[in-house]
Amino acid sequence: MNSPMASLTPIDTHFAYPVSVELTPRPKNWLFTSAQSRRAARNSMSVHYRFSKRAFDLFFSSLLLLLLAPFGLVLALLVRLTSPGSVFYREERIGRFGTPFRIFKFRSMYVHEADSICNIQTGSHEHMLQMRTFLKHIGNPRVTPVGRFLRKWSLDELPQLINVFRGEMSLVGPRPIVEAESAIYGAHMQYYTLMLPGMTGLWQVSGRSDVNFARRVHLDSLYCIHWSLRKDFELLWKTIPAVTRKTGAY
């Protein structure tokens, strides 16, 4: 079986949003250039990223937590009363600089099925990737009826505002990934540890689970290389129609 990284296309350093750009074929053994890595590192270490972005995240996450608290309470009750188990599902993810943290989500799966996600640690990297993809498949019987509604509208991710408020995540950033997936990314893993993982990001507004693995890695890496606070605002704005279209939300 071919490696999931085999079809990864190279970064275009002149790439700019919007995200509808079509990628042209490139050599399959291509790796990111050091110039691109340095650019992403400069972005992540800049005063603008460390302080302006944090202020941005802190202000909006606290505001949204206050405004959405009544709605969140209703969702929590629906989760708790319609299937046995806790309200929240927590899974360890890799944060900035590789620091692990536990992500908050409304539980959308039956308890024994949700727990099985964390146990996909054996076998080949390709097998693990396929299994985690399968768990998000349309019509997945592991998902509760309420969970299907939450996923359809991305409401299961609202508790991640807690992670943003605590400084473990950002409103916008690359996809938060689990430790078991890290070996799949190879040299590209550096981009996922440079910046805080985000509730939304370039891959999310491009189709979420409908985007294949190589394309997702490409988009997340582009975000790190071309980061700016203005583009964070743009991606937040693009998230609204992406959620209402429910594209790739399973």
Q: Where are the domains of the chain?
A: 36-245
Please answer whether residues 225 and 36 qualify as being in contact, where contact means their C-beta atoms are separated by less than 8 angstroms.
Answer: yes
Check residue 144 and report its DSSP letter: -
In this prediction, residue 31 carries a pLDDT of: 45
The Cα–Cα gap between 206 and 77 comes to 32
User: How confident is the model at residue 114, as a pLDDT?
Assistant: 54
Type of residue found at 218: H
What is the reported pLDDT for 131?
Answer: 52
Per DSSP, which regions of 15-134 are E strands?
A: 88-94, 100-106
As a whole number of angstroms, the distance between CA 242 and CA 250 comes to 13
Convert 186-196 to b/e letters by CB count within 10 Å (16 or more is b).
Answer: eebbbbbbbbb
Report residues of the chain scoring pLDDT below 50. Answer: 1, 4-32, 120-122, 134
Which pLDDT belongs to residue 5?
46
Distances (CA, A) of 116 to 132, 211, 214: 10, 24, 25
pLDDT at 213: 83
